[in-house]
Amino acid sequence: MSKYIFKRILSLIPIVIIVSVLIFAMVRITPSDPVAVMMKGKKITPETRASIEAQFDLDKSYPEQYICWIRNIFKGDFGTSFHYKQPVLSLVSSRLPNTLQLVMMASLLALLIALPLGIVCAVNMNRMADRVLSLLTLIFVSAPTFLVGILLMLGFAVKLGWFPVYGAGHNFVENLHALFLPAVALALNMVALIARITRSNMIEQLNAPYAQTAIAKGVPLRKVVMGHCFKNALIPVITVTSIQFGGMIVGAVLVENVFALGGVGALLIDAIKQADYPVTQSITLMMVVVFLTINLIVDVLYAAIDPRIRLDA
Amino acid sequence: MKASDLFGHRPMFRSKKRKEGVLFTVPVILSMIVLGALIFCCVFAPFISPYTESGQDRTAIMQGPSMRHLLGTDRVGRDTLTRVFYGGRTTLISALGVVLISIIIGVPFGLISGYYGGWADTIIGRICDILLSFPSLLLAFIFVAGFGRSQLNAIIALGIVYVPMLTRLVRSLTLVEKNKTYVEALQSCGVSDFSIMFRHILRNSVSTITVQLTLDLGYAVLDLAALSFLGLGVQPPTADWGAMLEEGFTLILMQPMLSLAPGLAIVLTVIAVNIFSDGLHQYLEPIQRKMPSFKSVEARLERERSAQNECNA
Amino acid sequence: MSAMLEIRDLKVDLMTQRGIVYALQGVNLALAKGELPGLAGGSGCGQALTAKAIMRLLPRDRSRFSGSIRFEGTELLDAKEKYINKLRGDRISMIFQDPMVSLNPLMTIGDQIGEIYRIHNHVSKAEARKRAAEMLELVGIPPADKRMKQYPFELSGGLQQRVMIAIACACKPELLIADEPTTALDVTIQAQILDLLKTLRKELNMSILLITHNFGIVAEVCDRVSVMYAGRVIETADTRDIFRNAKHPYSRALIASIPRAGGESEYLPTIPGAPPRLFERINGCAYAPRCPYACDVCRSSVPETNAVSENHTAACPVMMNDMAGNI
């Protein structure tokens, strides 16, 4: 098991290296001029320009700049932001707790609602309850996260005043309240997707021969569903959930924008608009690494669920 | 004799005569009507609407819905409904572009990868792995960060984001088809690989691919809107649903219709596309199809029989 | 002889993608305590469906049925789900064709055997485990304590089928329905499984309804056999009787097509054509289109089932008229 994880981590290293090169190349291909953006369009002398370029390693060749970035990553500060003139790591780490809590709350909410919903739909396939719920999930799959956010904000924050209209709280407990609407907005889309995938997989499992065996054994339907089929339907559900988790990292960007939460996502978008290379590159790379790590955890989870998957093989 | 005459193709929609369960269920018909109406309005916007895309009317700014302006006006007096129509043109054409790009790249790659296997498969698979290590829209963010914020770049970026999933789908379908006897027969007849891949294997997998593409179309509308909402896609003053939503969002407390109208347009479009895709999927996937009742089928058989008798008489 | 299970005029219609299939068109069958009858016929002739109807395993929204299935005097077709659930696995059990897919892949063998015992006897987990170990010994899969913790995929097909049998017999059912229990297995394993069923029948004193398309198996294990064709039972007789004196041309054809070592001909006789697809109710003998002896009577009305002798009935007007049987 640990040997497998070690092997997987080793195999991730080349991917991360290629991804980092890709990110670097894509960001640097830009036609915009970061120095001009930094100076906010003010005219500057060639000497000032040269000194700024030297300060941020912009005078070096591309391969050298890449090496510098990688060196900064290993130094631990991920480089210095053009815009904020601060190490990227401290910029990210001050914004990370909010984003992390938002994503966690949303995932928890999503799973708690989606799994039972999908199962209920599957058991009552094509009956009234299934049709109504399926229609609802269809609507939420189709609604853009930011629109749901805007509507929730209008309804529950502006009209009813139950939640703050924008901004996050100062600590975890305050955030449970302040981040509730953003989390719901972020979760609804995921709820719909996971519920749909749970439904179709449960239907498949309920029609599988082993489910028939269980029924023939006299196992009550409830236990057939929960005790036999659910576990079998779980693997594709986990796959989709893990992909959706990646979607959530991006969805958080949108929701943070709507509710002015100032998290990591908002930082990334601002950095893209301001040609703040170190921040753009580093946050993107961090998100990719997080995503790859989640995928690794999911693979280990598969083996825990299904004895047929042998990790050390 | 052409080889395709020898080897029967599975028709995309099997003849209705021998099959219970229909494609054109009430929801599917409704969704097609909605989509048709939307497309009609967008295409014929100049003829339907008395206003133009950017015609400003300083005497009527920030108005609510009225007889003159059915959905009100924005802060420079442009008619919202008209802009929704024109925005639909931008959004729908962009979404089609995204799907088209993913087809042009994804389908041949998937076919080659599945058909030839070996090193071609390995290389294509690795490229997909790299692209898929970016969680959802992140790759599009980076792409837009590098190549500049514009509609065209957003389309290309999303097109590329959609490629790996489509490639994998086509690859797995090709693997299934490749091992069927008809492929062997074609090979023994000396039919070229190109022809086998694009004329035979592709045609036999087209129904599954179509379902995926309709789904992708819906996602493309959503993702494009997200990019525009973040200011990374279509730039104002071009009318686009996502961009309009973003513009309207800043004024949401004064005139909610400005962001709700394009939002509603997005939701309606995506729901309609998803229902259509869902209907198609259920039609092609027997397990989940709702079966008609015995009564209705027997009544139909009876009608057919009596009609037959009348014909004979 | 009082019947433990009695099926009368069972009709089952199925809704499929292609339309309504009139799968069972009036099945009559009776089974006494301790018997081991066979239910034979080509694949798709309705034997498996009959078994599923007894177990009430047919999907509610895609099937409808009429007629009567009585088990120890109680009607099963309209019994409450709760009652059926008590019956299933406890008094009537079933084993399926393909053990590979019929066992839950993510549950240990011990748990799968224990589960059925726990549900019907409301005992502790430890007791269920003990029972599961006993059952594993009984069906011949030692060492029980090691096997208990294994998953189905770790066993061979033959052992998997033994596990299925262990599950089915854990509560000492009165009736075991075996749906082609050996079809998915090697020939050598087949014999072992059949032997096991014969032994268990004596040991647990249960009846076994053996569904098969292989008359060789019927000859080997069954006391009696009912032959099905196109959703009807066309002939019922003691095994010996049917091999000597089959009345229905279809039964004869089936018997003729058993491969025999040292047979006089090197060609195995086959039956031309295929069983009809039952998209409508057939008025007349369903076998008539393939039958060399068919006459107008066969095509115009459904043949009645008549007694040939004691314990032997057949539904073929031509053969019945020709009692000499020397066509």
Does residue B308 fall inside a structural domain?
Answer: no
Q: Could you list the residue range(s) of the whole structural domain that residue B82 is in?
A: 34-290
The pLDDT of residue C171 is 92
Q: Is C246 helix (H, G, I), strand (E, B) or coil?
A: coil
The pLDDT of residue C195 is 92
User: Which residues have CB under 8 Å from B88's CB, separation 6+?
Assistant: B38, B39, B41, B42, B45, B241, B265, B269
Q: Could you say which residues from 10 to 39 on chain C have a Cβ atom under 8 Å away from some Cβ of chain A?
A: none
Does residue B12 fall inside a structural domain?
Answer: no
Residues of B with CB under 8 A from a CB of C: 18-21, 286, 289, 291-292, 294, 297-298, 301
Residues of C with Cβ-Cβ distance to B21 under 8 angstroms:
17
Q: CA-CA distance, A289 to B133, in Å (whole number)? A: 8
Residues of B with Cβ-Cβ distance to A126 under 8 angstroms:
290
Residue located via tokens 């196992």: A219
Q: pLDDT digits over B222-268, tens only?
A: 999 888 888 888 887 788 888 888 888 888 777 788 888 888 889 99
Tally the domains of chain B: 1
Does residue B92 fall inside a structural domain?
Answer: yes
Q: Name the neighbours of B, counting chains with at least 3 Cβ pairs within 8 A.
A: A, C
Does residue B24 fall inside a structural domain?
Answer: no
Amino acid identity of residue B237, one-letter, is P
To probe the interface with C, which of B20, B285, B288 has the most C CB atoms within 10 Å? B20
Does residue B4 fall inside a structural domain?
Answer: no
Q: CA-CA distance, A118 to A197, in Å (whole number)? A: 7
User: Which residues have CB under 8 Å from A236's CB, separation 6+?
Assistant: A197, A201
The pLDDT of residue B185 is 87
Asked whether residue B15 carries a pLDDT value surpassing 60, the answer given is: no
In angstroms, the Cα distances linking C72 to B85, B299, C7, C33, C38 are 72, 38, 11, 10, 20
Q: pLDDT digits over C130-166, tens only?
A: 999 999 999 988 888 889 999 999 999 899 999 999 9
Q: Residue A127: closest CA among chain C residues belongs to which residue?
A: C61
Mean pLDDT over residues C307-320, rounded?
Answer: 84
Mean pLDDT computed over every residue of chain B: 82
Mean pLDDT computed over every residue of chain C: 87
To probe the interface with A, which of B34, B130, B134, B277 has the most A CB atoms within 10 Å? B134
CB-CB: which of C86, C96, C151 is closest to A213? C96
% pLDDT > 90, chain C: 41
Does residue B91 fall inside a structural domain?
Answer: yes
ipTM: 0.86
Mean pLDDT over residues C210-220, rounded?
Answer: 89
The pLDDT of residue B13 is 44
Q: pLDDT digits over C37-77, tens only?
A: 999 988 778 889 999 999 998 887 788 889 999 999 899 98
- Cβ(B156)–Cβ(B127) below 8 Å: no
CATH of the domain at B157: 1.10.3720.10
CB-CB: which of A213, A223, A231 is closest to C103? A213
In angstroms, the Cα distances linking B100 to B33, B106, B144, B220 are 23, 10, 19, 11
Q: Residue B147: closest CA among chain A residues belongs to which residue?
A: A30
Q: Is C176 helix (H, G, I), strand (E, B) or coil?
A: strand
Count of other CB atoms within 10 angstroms of residue B178: 17
| Phi-psi label, residue C59: left if phi above 0, alpha if psi -120 to 50, beta otherwise | beta
Asked whether residue C264 carries a pLDDT value surpassing 70, the answer given is: no
Binned at pLDDT 50, 70 and 90, residue B28 comes out as: confident
* pLDDT < 50 positions in chain A: none
**Tokens for A94?**
């001050």
The pLDDT of residue B12 is 42
Q: pLDDT digits over B91-150, tens only?
A: 899 999 999 999 999 999 999 999 998 899 999 999 998 898 888 788 888 888 888 888
Does residue B310 fall inside a structural domain?
Answer: no
Does residue B16 fall inside a structural domain?
Answer: no
Selection from B166, B129, B158, B165 nearest residue B141 by Cα: B158
Q: Residue A216: closest CA among chain C residues belongs to which residue?
A: C88
Give the range among A68-72, A186-190, B51-55, C81-85 with minimum mean pLDDT.
Answer: B51-55
Selection from C39, C47, C33, C4 nearest residue C225 by Cα: C39
The pLDDT of residue B289 is 62
Asked whether residue C169 carries a pLDDT value surpassing 60, the answer given is: yes
The pLDDT of residue B7 is 43
User: Which residues have CB under 8 Å from A309's CB, separation 6+?
Assistant: A302, A303
Q: Does C161 touch chain A (CB under 8 A)?
A: no
Give the range among A17-26, B15-24, C141-150, C216-225 with minimum mean pLDDT.
Answer: B15-24
Q: pLDDT digits over A16-37, tens only?
A: 999 999 988 888 876 667 777 6
Q: Does C118 touch chain A (CB under 8 A)?
A: no
The pLDDT of residue C159 is 92
